[in-house]
Amino acid sequence: MNKFALIGHPLGHSMSPLIHDRLFALSGFEAEPYRLIDIAPEDIASSRPLLEEHLGMNVTIPHKQSVIQLMDELGDSAKRYNSVNCIKNDGGRLIGYNTDCDGFLRSVELLPISENVVILGCGGVGRMMAIETALHGGSITLAVIPQDVKAAQLLMAEIMEKCGGASVKIADISTLDGNFDLLVNATPVGMYPKTDACAVSDKIIENCLSFFDAVYNPTETLLMKKARALGKTAVGGASMLVYQAVKAHEIWYGSAFAAEDISKIILEVENAVDLMNKK
């Protein structure tokens, strides 16, 4: 029976088994129940035999970079971000991919990513979102806290190198001003249990047309609540979590899924998160 798993450290509660088992059931692909495998950082270098036992694997922190040494080949997205979160075992050859970018792009495909976009934060996920936005023609404002200005400057230089002619500027998140077509929250502000926090002022929310929040717990952050109260479109992080998994199944065995079925899984994940928070 085909084996699939998530590796990381530490591995607490994860939505991955729910998501992947639902996708296997939808596709009819025969696989053992999806597993979580905790691998300590010092053990990743010797983990190649374990990886080879699986037809496909997902990778989370802190192994997204360190697992690259075990790969025989990298897909374009993994090369672009020097980060692997999906592995395909192709007849004993391990190929690393990054499906986080696919999860992001599919989550915002109905949002104006090619217009005037402000991205809050410039860490790992913020870096990916900024580069993908630039590749899709968006004009980017990187809104960061003062201690992250140097990191934002490095990211701006990277964007300009990868996306010639891109429009990028840096702003202090506390004094952010202006009108934006899309606001992307790539910070942990608003994440459970500190759900009463919002990364930007009410004025900025009023001045933005649409929103994507990478936080998936809670399923509706304070930022999203405020945006929706104004009648604006706000998409939460559960969609990105599910869509990056969908891309993994496409890579592993060439599956295809109906949009309505994926929407049901996203709703199921959101309900599971809400239930978990009530316990």
Are the C-beta atoms of residues 56 and 251 closer than 8 Å to each other? Answer: yes
Q: For residue 49, count other CB atoms closer than 10 A to its CB.
A: 7
Catalytic residue among 64, 88, 226, 247: 64
Give the three-class secondary structure for 260: helix
Question: Cα–Cα distances in Å, from 131 out to 1, 59, 87, 91, 148?
Answer: 38, 21, 22, 32, 17
Which uninterrupted H or E stretch holds 149?
A: helix 149-162
Question: Which of 206, 223, 243 lies closest to 109, judged by CA?
Answer: 243
Are the C-beta atoms of residues 58 and 248 closer than 8 Å to each other? Answer: yes
CA atoms of 99 and 105, how far apart (whole Å): 10
DSSP lists the bridge partners of residue 36 as 6
Active site residue 203: no
Are the C-beta atoms of residues 132 and 148 closer than 8 Å to each other? Answer: no
Residues acting as catalytic residues: 64
